[in-house]
Amino acid sequence: MDHHEMSETIKADILQAALQDLAFDGFTDAVIDKAVQSAAIDPAEAALAFPRGGIDLAVYFVRHGVAEMEAKLATLDIESMKIRERINIAVQTRLKVDADNKEVARRAFNLLALPGNAKEASACLAHTVDVMWRSTGDKSTDFNFYTKRATLAAVYSATRLFWLNDDSDDTKDSWAFLDRRIDNVMQIEKGKAKFREFKEKLGDPLETLAKFRYR
């Protein structure tokens, strides 16, 4: 086992040992110290795994969930799905991964939402939606690479916030909310497609209007 694998194993062991306390006490150094003792991990190795304490554990919790989502999506027949189905299943799968640790997910969300953690929050969101797109077959490398991820980031962020506060049976309200957000995106994309068709047939309307300005 190389150093990276050992570090990942230590992180996973600490997270597993800390889960119960994280739900009640949040991502604190005290929770990490207790988990380290419980899992019989060398404190020096734990310090290397999470040098900034709680915030590093929160980021790891998110990325660990993303990795689990990726593994689950890999077992599905993604290629047979339409684009909206792929987006839907990716977001649902990510949220279901955290279903048994919803309070821990809420604690991580609240910590990352603090102004001082904006960099870490942005990195977590960017990583999440990138893995979602790659796991659902996206191979874009042009400008669409960025627009797709920005669009999914908005859909996922809104749905996750709704889900964290959803107490409906089987979180059915969250899935309905997700469907509405995807519908909104699809309508925007349809509008953009129609505008492109309009430009191809009649030319750019903005350029045409600009010409009239100087007559």
pLDDT digits over 139-182, tens only? 888 878 888 899 999 999 999 999 999 999 999 999 999 999 99
What whole-number distance in Å separates Cα of residue 102 and Cα of residue 99?
5
**Which of the residues in the chain have pLDDT under 70?**
1-4, 188-215
- The answer to whether position 41 is within a domain reads no
Integer angstrom CA distances of residue 95 from 88, 99, 156, 202: 11, 6, 9, 45
What's residue 100's pLDDT?
96
Give a yes or no: residue 9 inside a domain. no
Does residue 130 lie within any of the structural domains? yes
Residue 209 lies in a domain: yes
Residue 128 sits in a domain of what CATH number?
1.10.357.10
Q: Is residue 84 within 8 Å of 186, Cβ to Cβ? A: yes
Domain that holds residue 84: 52-213
Which residues are within 8 A (CB) of 127 and not within 5 positions of it... i.e. 6 or more apart?
Answer: 62, 63, 66
The confidence score (pLDDT) of residue 199 equals: 47
How many domains does the structure of the chain reveal?
1
* Residue in 39, 155, 20, 150 with CA at minimum distance from that of residue 87: 155
3 inside domain = no
CA dihedral 174, 99, 113, 91 (to 10 degrees): -50
Residue 112 lies in a domain: yes
For residue 153, which of 122, 175, 119, 177 has the smallest C-alpha distance?
A: 122
Predicted model pTM? 0.86
Residue 158 lies in a domain: yes
In a domain, 37, yes or no: no
